[in-house]
């Protein structure tokens, strides 16, 4: 079939036409080999624009199409669809980007027009050599993996499971719940955090469609959208979860006391423990690192007293493999460790607390039964709350953590409520309260009597300069609205530490083949238009693993990710791009260089045929292997040597 090329130059309103002489470019295209028609039009992506193409295909026998317009990222799918609707293979299409690459970045009309001509010439010569490619469909496995059992993971798992589809929820701690479980009240409505979370947690525990794997971690991941194979390591908890009923007898008998992670080390737990009373699942776990039996070879008191014979010291880590169609990552965040900021004295001065320590202290189920106490057991009379600790600071995290202004003000409210006559001071740079009811909450806390000083303190010290500073923590700051350096003696300082990515976020991103940003949060596919998808199809993200956010935003994102997964499950199949690489097995020497090069692990060596083969479903068409193969045995189906040569000649023509 002799190529008959149609060229369509778009004005994009005035986006292109104001800088590029579109008529000239269309006229020039008419002179190029095999071009049978060339037009310019105001908006090629509009329905009438697409109809122009379709009509020419039907009436003029056009069988190759070039559109000179915007970036293929925007409209390549649109035009491929139009071409396909008119009966052509969608790969008989090429786009020349004369907007982002030309009109938007060139000032002179002459130069812009010249460049547009070159780009069109390249596209025309390239499309001449295009081959029809068939995209493939693969079935989507209906099960879903959710990693991380904080509120994001809980929400996503429930949404999917409630539609009747199976979910495997993997949590590395002994219980689900995440950070929200540690919080006392939640801003701005002051609902009790555990009261609104635990019903959801028990729904997860009891749901027939949810397989809950706690104390478990992701080992390896392979496969692609619709068909992932995931190995999960169920860590030995030395307790048979089917037998243990959480009675706690063993806990009372265990002689070893360890700092409680859940209470931020403000209380003790035992070596055999349940992290908190409402844990899901409500079973015990033996902390091998602290258990006397594992350390010294004797004790086994828990075993002796367990009436249900649930203790099993012989248990080992178990590797299980599951198959799922989609994955949602909800691994959450870690609190910034303020001991890095020496001048605030955390870890050095008594009564300087982190925000999570404060959450535990103010919680009635916490280590002090909800009493706010100094190290000496007395109630504080005055408390300073310092904002932006580790956030908005180029030395630590440049970003704003988004929740600490609000939780800082929540602390003020709780303090004024819990401690009679307390004086509470908020030290802030800017109050960030953009959310429903948030500014009103700020106003409420002011009304309740919290004192706001604008200025991030320079330091917190116990070195007194006056008698009244003796025995106090002194906050030295500039009251910037007055313009004076001042010193304020208080009894307690709470640091509003920022939210940072989990320490293993890079490793997790690598396992699931997704990217992470400069701050090491997972990167979304598009920051505005695709915030829960990732560059890897079938892998979605929600909650604080993508960036700092509050609970309402986390929940909304989790539901959005679940909706995306359900759409794929409902469709039942996904289309795999056809522009992949292929190995010419006659030329392949079996050197396996490509196996190591492929960033998507798409190439495997076939032992019996002594050649490498590419899995089309995994190949993203990046071209790395094509360039790397020493035998020149790999071709990219939509970037053949012929096509690239022709494109270069077109540019230079």
Partner 1 sequence: MSDIPHTTFLDEVAALPACGKINECIQCGVCSGSCSTATHWEYPPRKVIAMVRAGMKDELLKSNSIWFCVSCYLCTARCPRDIKPANIVHGLESIAIKEGYKPPTTTTTMYRSFAQSIVDHGRVYEFGFMLKYFLRTNPFAALKMLPMAIQLFRHGRMPLAPKQVKGKEELTTIINKMGEGGDR
**Residue 336: C-alpha distances to residues 355, 391, 461 (Å):** 10, 9, 21
Is residue 603 at the binding interface for ligand SF4, with CB under 6 A as the rule? yes
Residue 293 binding ligand SF4, by CB under 6 A: yes
For residue 199, the minimal CB distance to ligand SF4 (Å) is: 29
| Ramachandran bin of 618, using left for φ above 0, alpha for ψ from -120 to 50, beta for the remaining angles | alpha
Name the minimum Å distance from CB 304 to ligand SF4.
8
Nearest approach, Cβ of 187 to partner 1 (angstroms)? 23
# residues near ligand FAD by CB under 6 A = 40
From the list 267, 476, 624, 640, which residue makes contact with partner 1 (rule: CB under 8 A)? 476
Check residue 504 for interaction with ligand FAD (CB under 6 A): yes
Using rule CB under 8 A, residue 609 touches partner 1? no
Q: For residue 73, with 0-12 CB atoms within 10 Å meaning exposed, 13-18 middle and 19 or more buried, which class applies? A: exposed
Closest to 191 in 3D by CA, of 478, 453, 618, 550: 550
485 contacts which partner out of ligand SF4, ligand FAD, partner 1, none, CB within 5 to 8 A by kind?
A: partner 1
Among partner 1, ligand SF4, ligand FAD, none, residue 457 binds (CB under 5-8 Å by kind): partner 1
Helix/strand/coil percentages in the chain, nearest 5: 30, 25, 45
Q: Which of 165, 172, 290, 564 binds ligand FAD (CB under 6 A)?
A: 172
Residue 318: strand, helix, or coil: strand
Q: Which of 293, 336, 477, 512 binds partner 1 (CB under 8 A)?
A: 477
Per-position b or e across 35-45, b if 16+ CB within 10 A of its CB: bbbbbbbeebb
Q: Reply yes or no: is the peptide bond before residue 642 cis, omega within 30 of 0.
A: no
Of residues 131 through 170, those in contact with partner 1 by CB under 8 A are none
User: According to the binding rule CB under 6 A, does residue 197 interact with ligand SF4?
Assistant: no
Cα–Cα distance, 521 to 549 (Å, whole number): 12
3-state secondary structure of 324: strand
Phi and psi for 317 in degrees, rounded to 5? Answer: -55, 145
- Residue-wise burial string across 155-166, b where 16 or more C-beta atoms lie within 10 A, e elsewhere: bbbbbbbeeebb
Give the one entry of partner 1, ligand FAD, ligand SF4, none that residue 624 binds, where binding means its C-beta sits below a cut-off of 5 to 8 angstroms depending on kind: ligand SF4
3-state secondary structure of 294: helix
The secondary structure of 247-276, three-state, reads CCHHHHHCCCEEECCCCCCCCEEECEECCC
Between residue 484 and residue 543, which ones bind partner 1 under the rule CB under 8 A? 484-485
State the nearest-atom distance from the C-beta of 330 to ligand FAD, in Å: 5
The one among 39, 179, 525, 636 contacting ligand FAD by CB under 6 A:
179
- Binding string to ligand FAD for residues 521 to 560, with x set by CB under 6 A, is what? ----------------------xx----xxxx-x------
Helices marked H in 383-471 — which ranges?
A: 404-418, 438-447
The entry of ligand SF4, partner 1, ligand FAD, none that residue 36 binds, CB within 5 to 8 Å by partner kind: none
Candidates 23, 217, 381, 393; binder of partner 1 (CB under 8 A) is 393
**Among residues 285 and 330, whose Cβ is nearest to ligand FAD?**
330
Measured between alpha carbons, how far is 283 from 246 in angstroms, rounded to an integer?
A: 5
R_g of the chain, CA atoms, integer Å: 31
DSSP string, 425-436: EEEESS----ST
Q: Measuring CA to CA, how many Å separate 451 from each of 385, 445, 509, 546?
A: 10, 9, 43, 34
Distance CA 16, CA 122 (A): 18
Residue 484, contacted partner among partner 1, ligand SF4, ligand FAD, none, CB below 5-8 A by kind = partner 1
Give every CB contact of residue 290 below 8 A, 6+ residues apart in sequence: 256, 258, 271
The interface region with ligand FAD, picked from 51-59, 103-111, 142-150, 368-376 by CB under 6 A, is 142-150
Give the nearest distance from C-beta 498 to ligand FAD in angstroms: 8
Asked whether position 454 contacts partner 1 by CB under 8 A, the answer is yes
Taking the complex as a whole, the smallest distance from the CB of residue 412 to ligand SF4 amounts, in Å, to: 13
Separation CA 104–CA 107 (nearest Å): 8
Binding residues for ligand SF4 restricted to 325-344, rule: CB under 6 A? none
Q: Which is nearer to ligand FAD, 102 or 180 (CB)?
A: 180
Q: Name beta bridge partners: 524.
A: none
- 502 near ligand FAD, rule: CB under 6 A: yes
Which residue in 254, 509, 539, 542 binds ligand SF4 (CB under 6 A)? Answer: 254
Looking at residues 366 to 425 of the shown chain, list those that interact with ligand SF4 (rule: CB under 6 A).
387-388, 391-392, 400-402, 404-405
Does residue number 261 form part of the binding site for ligand FAD (CB under 6 A)? Answer: no
Rounded to whole angstroms, what are the CA distances from 358 to 265, 278, 372, 412, 494? Answer: 12, 20, 8, 11, 7
Smallest distance, Å, CB 481 to partner 1?
9
Least distance CB 514 / ligand SF4 (angstroms): 15
What dihedral angle (degrees, nearest 10) is formed by the CA atoms of 147, 151, 157, 163?
Answer: -160
Prior bond to 634 cis, omega within 30? no
- Of 429, 418, 392, the C-alpha closest to 492 is 418
- How, if at all, do strands 634-636 and 35-41 pair? unpaired
Least distance from C-beta 57 to ligand SF4, angstroms? 30
Q: Determine if 127 is a binding residue for partner 1 (CB under 8 A).
A: no
Site for ligand FAD in 345-404 (CB under 6 A): 355-356, 359, 403
551 binds, among partner 1, ligand SF4, ligand FAD, none (CB under 5 to 8 A by kind): ligand FAD
For the bound state, the minimum distance from the C-beta of residue 119 to ligand SF4, rounded and expressed in Å, comes to 25
In whole angstroms, what separates CA 109 from the centre of its chain? 43
| Cβ-based nearer residue to ligand FAD, 549 or 636 | 549
Distance between CA atoms of 470 and 381, rounded to whole angstroms? 15
Binding mask 180-219 for ligand FAD (x = CB under 6 A): x--x--xx-----------------------------xx-
Instruction: Report if residue 585 touches partner 1, rule: CB under 8 A.
Output: no
Among candidates 198, 335, 213, which has minimal Cα distance to 276? 198
Nearer to ligand FAD, 147 or 256 (CB): 147
| Token couple for 395 | 């030395």
Per-residue binder mask for ligand SF4 (CB under 6 A), 561-590, x = binder: -------------------xx---------
In the three-class reduction of DSSP (H, G, I as helix; E, B as strand; rest coil), residue 382 is classed as strand
Residues interacting with partner 1, by CB under 8 A? 343, 388, 392-395, 429-430, 454-459, 476-480, 483-485
Residues interacting with ligand SF4, by CB under 6 A? 253-256, 271-272, 286, 291-293, 299-302, 387-388, 391-392, 400-402, 404-405, 430, 432, 496, 498, 580-581, 597-598, 600, 602-603, 614, 619-625
Residues interacting with ligand FAD, by CB under 6 A? 147-153, 170-173, 178-180, 183, 186-187, 217-218, 330-333, 335, 355-356, 359, 403, 407, 410, 502, 504, 508, 543-544, 549-552, 554
């Amino acid at each position: 079939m002799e190529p008959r090329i149609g060229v369509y130059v778009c004005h994009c309103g005035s986006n292109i036409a104001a800088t590029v002489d579109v008529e000239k470019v269309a006229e020039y295209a008419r002179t190029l080999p095999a071009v049978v028609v060339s037009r310019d039009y105001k908006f090629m992506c509009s329905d009438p624009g697409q109809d122009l193409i379709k009509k020419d295909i039907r009436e003029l026998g056009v069988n190759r199409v070039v559109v000179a317009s915007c970036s293929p990222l925007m409209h390549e799918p649109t035009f491929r669809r139009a071409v396909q609707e008119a009966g052509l293979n969608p790969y008989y299409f090429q786009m020349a980007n004369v907007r982002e690459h030309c009109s938007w970045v060139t000032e002179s009309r002459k130069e812009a027009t010249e460049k547009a001509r070159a780009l069109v010439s390249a596209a025309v010569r390239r499309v001449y050599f295009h081959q029809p490619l068939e995209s493939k469909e693969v079935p989507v496995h209906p099960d879903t993996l959710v990693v991380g059992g904080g509120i994001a993971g809980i929400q996503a798992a429930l949404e999917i499971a409630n539609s009747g589809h199976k979910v495997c929820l993997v949590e590395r701690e002994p219980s689900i719940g995440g950070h929200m479980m540690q919080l006392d009240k939640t801003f701005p409505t002051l609902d009790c955090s555990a009261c609104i979370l635990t019903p959801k947690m028990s729904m997860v525990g009891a749901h027939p469609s949810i397989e809950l794997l706690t104390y478990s971690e992701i080992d390896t991941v392979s496969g692609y959208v619709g068909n992932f194979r995931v190995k999960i390591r169920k860590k030995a908890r030395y307790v048979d979860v089917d037998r243990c009923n959480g009675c706690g007898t063993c806990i009372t008998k265990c002689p070893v006391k360890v700092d409680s992670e859940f209470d931020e080390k403000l209380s003790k737990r035992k070596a055999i423990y349940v992290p908190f009373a409402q844990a899901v699942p409500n079973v015990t776990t033996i902390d091998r690192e602290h258990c006397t039996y594992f350390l010294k070879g004797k004790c086994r008191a828990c075993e002796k007293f367990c009436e249900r014979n649930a203790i099993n010291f012989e248990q080992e880590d178990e590797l299980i493999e599951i198959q799922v169609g989609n994955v949602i990552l909800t691994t959450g965040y870690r609190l910034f460790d303020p001991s890095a900021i020496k001048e605030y004295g955390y870890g050095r001065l008594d009564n300087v607390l982190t925000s999570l320590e404060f959450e535990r202290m103010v919680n009635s189920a916490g280590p002090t039964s909800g009493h706010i106490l100094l190290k000496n057991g007395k109630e504080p009379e005055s408390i300073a709350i310092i904002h932006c600790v580790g956030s908005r600071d180029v030395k630590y995290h440049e970003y704003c953590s988004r929740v600490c202004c609000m939780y800082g003000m929540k602390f003020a409210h709780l303090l004024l409520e819990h401690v009679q006559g307390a004086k509470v001071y908020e030290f802030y740079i800017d109050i960030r309260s953009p959310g429903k009811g948030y500014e009103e909450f700020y106003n409420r806390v002011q009304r309740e009597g919290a004192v706001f000083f604008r200025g991030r303190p320079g330091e917190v010290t116990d070195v007194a300069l006056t008698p009244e500073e003796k025995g106090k923590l002194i906050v030295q700051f500039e009251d910037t609205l007055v313009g004076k350096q001042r010193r304020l003696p208080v009894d307690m300082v709470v640091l509003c530490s920022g939210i940072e990515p989990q320490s293993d976020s890079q490793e997790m991103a690598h396992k699931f083949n997704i990217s992470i940003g400069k701050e090491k949060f997972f990167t979304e596919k598009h920051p505005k238009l695709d915030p829960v998808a990732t560059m890897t199809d079938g892998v979605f993200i929600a909650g604080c693993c993508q960036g700092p956010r509050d609970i309402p935003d986390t929940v909304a994102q989790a539901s959005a990710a679940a909706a995306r997964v359900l759409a794929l499950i409902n469709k039942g199949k996904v289309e795999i791009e056809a522009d992949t690489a292929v190995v010419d097995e006659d030329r392949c020497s079996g050197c396996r260089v490509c196996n190591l090069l492929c960033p998507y692990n798409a190439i495997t060596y076939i032992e019996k045929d002594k050649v490498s083969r590419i899995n089309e479903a995994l190949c993203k068409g990046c071209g790395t292997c094509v360039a790397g193969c020493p035998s020149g045995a790999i071709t990219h189906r939509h970037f053949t040597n012929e096509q690239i040569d022709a494109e270069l000649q077109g540019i230079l023509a």
